[in-house]
Structure formats: structure tokens, C-alpha cells
Chain A
Amino acid sequence: MLEIRNLHASINGKEILKGIDLTIRDGEVHAIMGTNGAGKSTLSHVIVGNPAYEVTEGEIIFNGKNLLEMNTEERALEGIFLSFQQPVEIPGVSMTHFMRAALNARRKHEGLEPLPAGEFLKLMREKRKIVELDSKLANRSVNEGFSGGEKKRNEIFQMAMLEPRFSILDETDSGLDVDALRIVAEGFNKLRRPETSAMVITHYQRLLDYLRPDIIHVLIDGRIIKTAGPELALEIEEKGFDWIKEEAGL
């Protein structure tokens, strides 16, 4: 379970998050919607511990542990995963090397031995099928020369490999065609478990049709100004955000 209380965060001295309260229980999928520049990506980066952002107030508790006391990799090892809006290209580091380092770090954290090479490759084969990535993946450098769609599928592939407790999908639907969107969304759904939860950042109803979130939050100007059931997304699709802003007196 993730609990965010009165979270304030800034970048380069500019306050972006101005008091976020949010609770996501096991098994739940929450969607965060909002206008550009409202702070959605900032929220996701603050949760995973991007050192570029400074938390000035508030707390984030994950399964009883204070996330703000942990660095990026410690949070990841606790089971927090971010599907990046813009996955980073790492020339020269093969997906195999990268994934093995990540998976074995996780296993070590859980007190397990590194996975033998044969089993690891078998696992890679199995998991890449979930997002329909081909066999060349293993030898390619991380995200280098990947199309926009491949990059997003690669994010979900990594999620499948690492089996996080809590995932953030940061505009995973942006730049995807209809087929790729379906592959990514169905891939995500296959990975859902009763004990996992997720936060989905998106501008579009299309992705939410697949993911069926339990709760929708509207984030405007660094604050959550409305929280409701899935029907809210449909209303936003139809009417935009202005009415919500008015309702909130903004």
C-alpha cells in the first residue's frame, strides 16, 4: 500500500507539487489525469526518487516504510517500478546485461542467489512474448534505435521481468498506435495480481478502457482537485478539465 501525505516537491527551486494526498491500496489501479504541466510526471519521479527533485514537505509511505529515506535503487528493490514516459537509450549496454543486473539485484535483496544464465535467458524469452518483442531484443542495446512503440513495450517487458509491487505508467500510451497500445495494455493486465497496485498517468480514455482503473484523480497545478470513480474519465474525455477547475474554485 502506498500512502502519500501532504507532499510538496520542487525542481530548481520551483514548487511543482503543492500538497498531494493519495492512498493506493493493494490490488487497485489509480489513474492520474490533468492538464500539461500540472505535475503528473513530477509526482511519478518523486515517488521513485529522482534526485533532480527536492521534496520540501510531506511523506511517502510504502508498505509501512518511509520511501523518502531511501535512494532510487532501494525504492526499486522495495518493488517500485516506473514505466518512463521517455525511456532512456543506453548505447553499448545490452538488454541482457541490463536485465540481468536488475534482476539479480532484486534477487539479492530478497536473499536469493543470482539466476543461472540458462534460466535467465528462458525467463527473458517467456516475458518478452507478453509484449510481443522479438528474439533480437536480448542483444540490442537498451532502447537504442527502438521505435517509440518498442520502447514502451520494452518498459512493460522490464516490468514483467521485475514483477514490481507498485507500478507507475507515465504516459505509456503516448506515441503508440492502436495495435501497440493494445499490446502494452494487455501486457500490463496480464501482470496484475491481487497484491500489486498501479498508478497510471494519461491524457486519454483509450488506455483506461483497457486498464479499467478503480479511481480517477484530477491533478491540476500541483494539487489533486477531484477524485472519483471510473466514470470521471469519460466525463473528462467529453468535457475537458475546465468544469472541474470551476468546481474547485480555480
Chain B
Amino acid sequence: MKQYIELYEQCRGMLNGHSAPVLNALREEAFGHFRQMGFPSQKVERYKYTDVARHFAPDFGLNLNRLSIPVNPYEVFKCDVPNLSTSLYFVVNDQFYDKALPAVPLPEGVVVDSLCRAAETFPELVKHHYGTLARSRKDALNALNTMFCQDGLFVYVPRNVVVERPIQIVNVLRSDVSLMVNRRVLVILEEGASATLLFCDHAMDSHAFLTTQVIETFVGENAHLELYELEETHVRNTRFSNLYADQKAYSSAVLDNITLHNGVTRNRTDLTLSGEYAETTLNGLVIADKEQQVDNNTLIDHRVPHCQSQQLYKYVLDDKARCAFAGRVLVREGAQKTVSQETNANLLGSREARIYTQPMLEIYADDVKCSHGSTVGQLGEQAMFYMQQRGIPYEEARMLLKFAFAADVLSTIHLDALHDRLNYLVDKRFRGELNKCEGCRMCKN
């Protein structure tokens, strides 16, 4: 913790000098909170399953001077998800890559840009939203990210604009030394707007990376958002991501988080249903083996009546993977007619794999329909025997069963081409052919 406090004190000027006033405005307050809170210990319920301080202990480089990193992601990634044409953007570490932008223009008024630049171009809009969901006082990692972030991504869809073509953002980690990246993302969908976002996280170099990411998402009245996150990095990558979303009345959102390959990952999803008749679907799929760690921690906060939420997280673990799922659904007083389902199902392929599962349901209203549950199981012996009797080799049979287990999360993906592509990637993953990130597989055949 001390190293980050010292770093901030020494580099204040540099941080501010290479960022925008709107972002700089929250830095000092965040620093105050961070200094006061420090890294959360595992005694804090939300952080029970991940020892945060340990992952922040090593010294990482930071690119506070915004030195340009020699890379042309467009040359590296010839993006071509079969049949899925996206508006493709790259964020290299925390820097929006704007040397070449998609040929097909976005609908009028829609902005996909560097957060720092957006904060200069639309200062009022950014100021009105930035840091309002991901409060520094709520979470030390919000504070840390707010202290150090200098840039990231800004997505804005104005009122009643429907963006048909999915917006794909490839987050590329690229460095010649081990690197810490603090990326910030702001997504605003105004009333009646609709968009699909696909974030793919990749690491181009085998160096150790430590990323903090904070995504704040505003879903306006009657707006529709689909947000898919896919991590496909390597075992030396550590990711702390906090996703906040606020949904207004009659809005709908699908938030999918898929960890295909990683090192250590903690994803916090904090979703607030603040307008009536809002609907939300939260899905997660984790495939982990070796000594990989994935900790998904979710909160769905039903603040008003007549909202619906569904949650399905599935984990397929093997070797010595250690993972956790903690999902808290909070139905506040007065949030009548809430309908909520929460399911976490886990498949353990080895004796050493561990899953800590903790579905939580807190209800303070009396007219609601809620359920929550979790299962932990092994590969079915009878099914294994049945398949082997048909001549299917042991490893292949295991893979088919794992794939089958994961299939229903994949089936919730509305983008057909992405769904097909993920089926393919998951299949490869189980075959052990996806052991390290070799570039954007979403994009490269």
C-alpha cells in the first residue's frame, strides 16, 4: 500500500499533466479514501476470496508519462469474427488507439473515443457521470483506479439512437516490462438508446500485467444494453475489474462475463435497478485449470418495484484452479413484485480444484418471487462410462461433458456469430489448445 501512496505523492503532477481536468478533479479525494482504507483485507466480506494486497505487492512499471507504445494493433489483429461485423476499436493498455478507426461510421451522435479526450470535448457530460457510480469511498480499488487512471474509453449513445452493429473493444496489454494499467471506462446510453458492446481482453506480451479497470455504465429509461466481456489472457496476468451499472425504468441489460484463460482475476459487478420495470440478466462462465484463480463477486440491488433479474454463473474447473462466486441479491424495502433468480453451478474435474460458492439473497419486501442456489459436482461417472463404451476416449468424453456443462451459458449470448465463435473457442480451450494468449483469437482465425 505504501508504495502506491508514495508513488501518488511523487507523481501527482505527472498524472494530472497527462490527463483531463474532469478526471483530475476526483484524484485527491480518491487518494484520501485510499490512504484511509488501504487494500481491503480478506476480512471484508466482498474480498473474502482474494488477497488483494498480495497481488499489488510486486513493483510494476506505470506509464504515467504517456509514452507512446510502439504497436499497431490493426496490423496484429485482422479482425474477422466470422459473420460478425463489428465496429472495432482498440485500447492499448489504457490508451485509446485512434490511428485508424472503423470505416463504417457510427450512427449520428454516437461517440466511441478516448475518455480523456471526451472529458475535454464533453466536459459536462463526463463530469455528470464520472465517478458517480464507482465511488472511491465505497471501494479501495475504485479509489486506486481513480487516483491513477489517466485515460480509457468513452461510449455514448444519445437518446433513441439504436446502434445496430456491435461495438467491439479489444483491450490489448502491451509492454516490454511488467506493467500496471489503470483503465477507466464510461458507458452512457440515454433514454431509448440501444447498443451491444463486446470487450475482449488480451495480453500481447508474456510479461506480468496488473490491471485495474473500472467501468461505469448508465442505462437510461427504456434503453437496451448488451455488454459482453471476454478475458483471454495468460497466467501472468492479474485483473481487478469493477463494473458498475445503473438501470433506469423499463431498461434492459444483459451483462455476460466470460473468463476463458487468465492468471488471477477478480470481477466485481455491481448493478442497481433504480427504475421500475427494469430487467437484467447477468451471466458468467469461468474455465480455469492449472493454478488459475477467478473470483466473481456480484451485487444486484433491487431498489424499486417490478424489476426482474436473472443470474447464471457456471464454472468448469480442473487441476489446482481456485475460484469463487459470491452473488448477493438485495431486494430493498418497497421493491415489491421483484422477480429474481440466482444460480451458480460448478463442475470440478479434479480433486485439487476448489470452488467457494456463496449465493446470497436479502429480502426486505414481502411480495417478491426470488430464488437462489448453487451446485457443485463432478463429471458423471455413468455418463463417462456410457461414452467410453461407445469408444469415445477418456479425455474426449471429459471434454464433451465439460462443454455440455458450459453450453447453457453460451446459449444466452444473443449475438449468433459471437455465440458460434465462443463455442469454438471454448471447445479449443477444453482441448488444451488455448493455453496462452496468442493475440486476439476473437479476431484471428
Once bound together, how far apart are the Cα atoms of A102 and B390, in whole Å?
6
| Complex contact B389–A90 (CB within 8 A) | no
B403 within 8 A of A: yes
B388 within 8 A of A: yes
B-contact 0/1 string along A86-108, CB 8 Å cutoff: 01111111000110011001100
Which residues of A are at the interface with B, using a C-beta cutoff of 8 A?
Answer: 48-52, 71-73, 76-77, 81-82, 84, 87-93, 97-98, 101-102, 105-106, 109, 141-142, 158, 162
A-contact 0/1 string along B377-402, CB 8 Å cutoff: 00010110111111111101100110
| Complex contact A77–B386 (CB within 8 A) | no
| Complex contact B391–A105 (CB within 8 A) | yes
B407 within 8 A of A: yes
| Complex contact B389–A48 (CB within 8 A) | yes
For A50, give the chain B residue with the smallest CB separation.
Answer: B385
Count chain B CB atoms within 10 A of each CB in A73, A76, A105 and give the residue with the most: A73
Once bound together, how far apart are the Cα atoms of A158 and B396, in whole Å?
18
| Complex contact A88–B400 (CB within 8 A) | no
In-complex Cβ contact of A162 among B391, B393, B396, B397 (8 A) = B391
| Complex contact A90–B385 (CB within 8 A) | no
| Complex contact B404–A72 (CB within 8 A) | no
* Chain B residue contacts of A101, Cβ below 8 A: 387, 390, 392, 396-397, 400
| Complex contact B383–A88 (CB within 8 A) | yes
Once bound together, how far apart are the Cα atoms of A91 and B402, in whole Å?
11
| Complex contact A92–B408 (CB within 8 A) | yes
Residues of B within 8 Å of A, CB-based: how many? 22
Known A-B contacts A101-B396, A141-B404; the reply to A158 vs B390 at CB < 8 A is: yes
- CB B342 to nearest CB in A, in angstroms, measures 21
| Majority secondary structure, B binding face | helix
Known A-B contacts A90-B386, A90-B387; the reply to A105 vs B392 at CB < 8 A is: yes
Count chain B CB atoms within 10 A of each CB in A48, A81, A105 and give the residue with the most: A105
* Chain A residue contacts of B385, Cβ below 8 A: 50-52, 72, 88
- CB B427 to nearest CB in A, in angstroms, measures 10
Question: Which of chain B's residues 206-221 have a Cβ closer than 8 Å to chain A?
Answer: none
| Complex contact A93–B386 (CB within 8 A) | no
Question: Which of chain B's residues 345-388 have a Cβ closer than 8 Å to chain A?
Answer: 380, 382-383, 385-388
B405 within 8 A of A: yes
Once bound together, how far apart are the Cα atoms of A71 and B405, in whole Å?
25
* Chain B residue contacts of A141, Cβ below 8 A: 404
Once bound together, how far apart are the Cα atoms of A52 and B389, in whole Å?
13
* Chain A residue contacts of B401, Cβ below 8 A: 90, 92-93
In-complex Cβ contact of B389 among A82, A89, A91, A109 (8 A) = A82
Once bound together, how far apart are the Cα atoms of A50 and B394, in whole Å?
13
Given contacts A90-B380, A92-B404, 12 further A-B contacts (CB under 8 A): A71-B388, A73-B393, A76-B390, A77-B391, A84-B389, A87-B386, A88-B382, A88-B385, A90-B401, A93-B404, A97-B400, A105-B390
| Complex contact A91–B390 (CB within 8 A) | no
Known A-B contacts A101-B396, A141-B404; the reply to A90 vs B383 at CB < 8 A is: yes
| Complex contact B391–A109 (CB within 8 A) | yes
For B392, give the chain A residue with the smallest CB separation.
Answer: A101
Once bound together, how far apart are the Cα atoms of A142 and B387, in whole Å?
10
* Chain B residue contacts of A52, Cβ below 8 A: 385
- CB B119 to nearest CB in A, in angstroms, measures 46
For B382, give the chain A residue with the smallest CB separation.
Answer: A88
Closest 3 CB pairs of A and B: A92-B404, A76-B391, A102-B390
* Chain A residue contacts of B394, Cβ below 8 A: 71, 73
Known A-B contacts A101-B400, A141-B404; the reply to A106 vs B387 at CB < 8 A is: no
Count chain A CB atoms within 10 A of each CB in B383, B392, B394, B407 and give the residue with the most: B392
- CB A110 to nearest CB in B, in angstroms, measures 11
* Chain B residue contacts of A50, Cβ below 8 A: 385
Known A-B contacts A73-B392, A102-B391; the reply to A91 vs B386 at CB < 8 A is: no
| Complex contact B405–A72 (CB within 8 A) | no
* Chain A residue contacts of B407, Cβ below 8 A: 92
In-complex Cβ contact of A92 among B391, B393, B396, B403 (8 A) = B403
Once bound together, how far apart are the Cα atoms of A82 and B386, in whole Å?
9
| Complex contact A102–B392 (CB within 8 A) | yes
In-complex Cβ contact of B386 among A71, A88, A162 (8 A) = A88
Known A-B contacts A72-B388, A97-B400; the reply to A105 vs B393 at CB < 8 A is: yes
